[in-house]
Structure 1
Amino acid sequence: MSSGTAAAADVDEALAEFQSQLNLMFAKARTLWKESAARVHPELQPSGYKLLTFVARSGGTNAHQLADCFEMDKSVVSRQVRMLEDLGLLESRPDEHDGRLRVLTATPAAREALAAVRADHADRMRAAMIELTPDEVAVASKVFRILAEA
């Protein structure tokens, strides 16, 4: 086997292992979203949790932006928004610039619950990555940025 063929095989093996680890990380993320949603409200589903965290981070958005960002059907987003409002986690008001749109914001209770969850996530991340140097964390961030842009 030539050195080029061996190198290609090594890269393929490394990529297969990387993909396997990504699959495990995604499974862990799904579990974490489910646990986090339950911490915010016992009836909150993971999909609603993801929308709520986006709304809270953005400071205010509308259902059209949520549908575009999450590549979800508008009817699905509409149902999720209604559920979040019913659970007291989301508020809706008319848009000042376009009365046809509604601006969605997280309620104070939702922001407080999300802050507690975020603090716990930060502690977990810090503990998991304590052995890495800042340069290694920067490389990991670069890898995830490249994958997100692919």
Structure 2
Amino acid sequence: MDVDDLASALQDSVSLLARRLRQAATPGELTLPERSALSRLDRGGPSTSAELARAEQITPQAMATTLGGLEQRGLVERRNDPHDGRRIIMSASESGREVLRRKRAAHARQLAAALGSGFSEEELAALAFAVPLIERLAEGI
């Protein structure tokens, strides 16, 4: 098996799946940068705006704008760094975590509907077998 061909096929299929899930957005939902920043705060814990900007590979100004919009809607909270009063630490609020839970649940429902209507038992078993492998692959990148 050619690893380069497999890598290309995986990238194409995973990208298509992610795109299709994102395309199901409804008006008033988070933008992609907002969802990305909020998800990073949810998964990684509190962080400064500068740290988030570096992690997301965007400018500090763009991250400040993104966080400002999230803060106005009550989805993130700011507090002073207890070790350095000049720094501001951002964290996902309970409302922000709830928005992410709803979005993830909606994605899971979409996937379940597609899996339930278009795949055989053997195909479902193959996909179930692939899940931990895909997770391990993602962790190795």
TM-score w.r.t. length of structure 1: 0.67
Establish whether residue 102 from structure 1 lines up as the match of residue 88 from structure 2.
yes
Q: Which amino acid aligns with 1:117?
A: K
Pairwise CA distance, 1:30: 3.4
Match of 1:27 among 10, 19, 22: 19
Establish whether residue 111 from structure 1 lines up as the match of residue 97 from structure 2.
yes
Which moved further from structure 2: 12-21 or 51-60? 12-21
Deviation sequence 1:55-86 (CA, Å, 0-9, x none): 12333222122112211111111111111112
Q: For the Cα contact (< 8 Å) 2:21–2:107, is it kept in 1?
A: no
Pairwise CA distance, 1:89: 1.4
Q: Which amino acid aligns with 1:28?
A: R
Max Rg structure: 1
Match of 1:137 among 101, 120, 128: 128
Identity of aligned residues (%): 27
In structure 2, what is the Cα distance between the partners aligned to 1:147 and 1:114?
20
Mark the CA change 1:126 to 1:61 in structure 2 (over 3 Å): closer, same or farther.
farther
Establish whether residue 50 from structure 1 lines up as the match of residue 41 from structure 2.
no
Pairwise CA distance, 1:14: 6.3
Pairwise CA distance, 1:101: 1.7
State the partner residue of 2:45: 59
Q: For the Cα contact (< 8 Å) 2:80–2:89, is it kept in 1?
A: yes
In structure 2, what is the Cα distance between the partners aligned to 1:114 and 1:120?
10
Establish whether residue 81 from structure 1 lines up as the match of residue 67 from structure 2.
yes
Size of the alignment, in residue pairs? Answer: 135
Three-state SS of the structure 1 residue aligned to 2:78 is strand
Q: CA RMSD in A?
A: 3.1
Match of 2:57 among 71, 88, 98: 71
